């Protein structure tokens, strides 16, 4: 039974898989790449609130059913065990999480939007013989049309989680957020995890930042982006030149709202 739950969310290509790979070194923690739990919650919630069987559910039963999904998906969880479930849509479910798991926190991995776009483009360049599910396996897009698809606020790989994150950041449950910038995580992982443990009220643990192991080759091949979730063995910052046109880079230079103290009226924790 899942008694302690936290969520890993935020933006894509921003360190969530790396963070999960580090957290899973702790034997008391369960953590991995994006799970289907949030999608299962969405489908189940809809069925319980509408359709021919909606009349059989009250809020108490809905809450029990949603908790049951976590219990079934994480059978290894026991008293004292901490589950970190990853999905970029959790920031759009802050109020629901508060109701079902009131002690949970949402850990949001973030990164300069321009560098996220650049990272996606770099993955495409590495796999020119593949077509990605991110772009509906369609060939022939230019980088400009791909950026429009990525930044779509309804279903874009970047646009949807960016919109969800803004909603949570400015919303009533902003205090539940813990924001981890990508550069902070890779440049100073030990200090970042120490602060995260403190925010979560967890006992310290000695992580190994020189031997990090995580990969999901089958999933990455399925979506047409081999290597997407492969984590480098050593945690370190690697400087590189951008591969996207400078006008795209400049266009999203002001999209990083978490860096602006005047926009943090709710006092969100930024590590």
Q: Where are the domains of the chain?
A: 4-270
pTM of the shown model: 0.93
Gap between the Cα atoms of 117 and 248, Å rounded: 9
Gap between the Cα atoms of 238 and 225, Å rounded: 21
Gap between the Cα atoms of 111 and 256, Å rounded: 8
| Structure tokens given for 224 | 């047409």
Q: What is the pLDDT of residues 190-232, one digit of tens each?
A: 999 999 999 999 999 999 999 998 888 877 777 777 777 888 8
What residues in the chain have per-residue pLDDT under 70? 131, 140
CATH architecture of the domain formed by 4-270: 3-Layer(aba) Sandwich (3.40)
Gap between the Cα atoms of 127 and 223, Å rounded: 12
Gap between the Cα atoms of 48 and 56, Å rounded: 8
CB 106 within 8 A of CB 7: yes
Q: What's the number of CA atoms in the CB half-sphere (13 Å) around residue 108?
A: 29
CA-derived radius of gyration, the chain: 19
| Structure tokens given for 266 | 């709710």
pLDDT of residue 157: 93
pLDDT of residue 140: 66
Gap between the Cα atoms of 235 and 183, Å rounded: 11
**What are the helix and strand counts (H, E) for the chain?**
11, 6
């Amino acid at each position: 039974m899942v008694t302690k739950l936290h969520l890993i969310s935020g933006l894509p290509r921003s360190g969530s898989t790396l963070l999960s790979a580090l957290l899973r070194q702790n034997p008391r923690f369960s953590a991995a790449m994006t799970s289907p739990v949030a999608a299962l919650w969405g489908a189940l919630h809809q069925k319980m609130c509408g359709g021919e069987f909606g009349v059989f559910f009250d809020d108490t039963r809905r809450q029990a059913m949603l908790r049951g999904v976590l219990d079934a998906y994480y059978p290894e969880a026991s008293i004292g065990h901490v589950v970190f479930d990853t999905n970029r849509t959790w920031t759009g479910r802050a109020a629901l999480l508060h109701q079902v798991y009131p002690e949970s926190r949402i850990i949001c991995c973030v990164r300069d939007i321009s560098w996220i776009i650049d990272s996606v483009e770099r993955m495409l360049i590495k796999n020119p013989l593949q077509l990605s599910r991110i772009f509906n396996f369609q060939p022939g897009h230019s980088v400009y049309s791909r950026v429009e698809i990525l930044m779509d606020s309804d279903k874009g790989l970047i646009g949807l989680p960016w919109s969800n994150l803004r909603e949570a950041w400015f919303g009533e449950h902003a205090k539940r957020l813990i924001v981890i910038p990508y550069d902070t995580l890779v440049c100073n992982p030990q200090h970042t995890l120490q602060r995260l443990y403190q925010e979560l009220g967890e006992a310290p643990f000695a992580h190994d930042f020189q031997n990090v192991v995580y990969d999901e080759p089958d999933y990455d091949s399925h979506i047409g982006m081999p290597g997407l979730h492969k984590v480098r063995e050593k945690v370190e910052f690697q400087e590189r030149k951008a591969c996207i046109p400078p006008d795209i880079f400049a266009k999203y230079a002001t999209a990083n709202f978490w860096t602006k103290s005047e926009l943090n009226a709710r006092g969100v924790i930024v590590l």
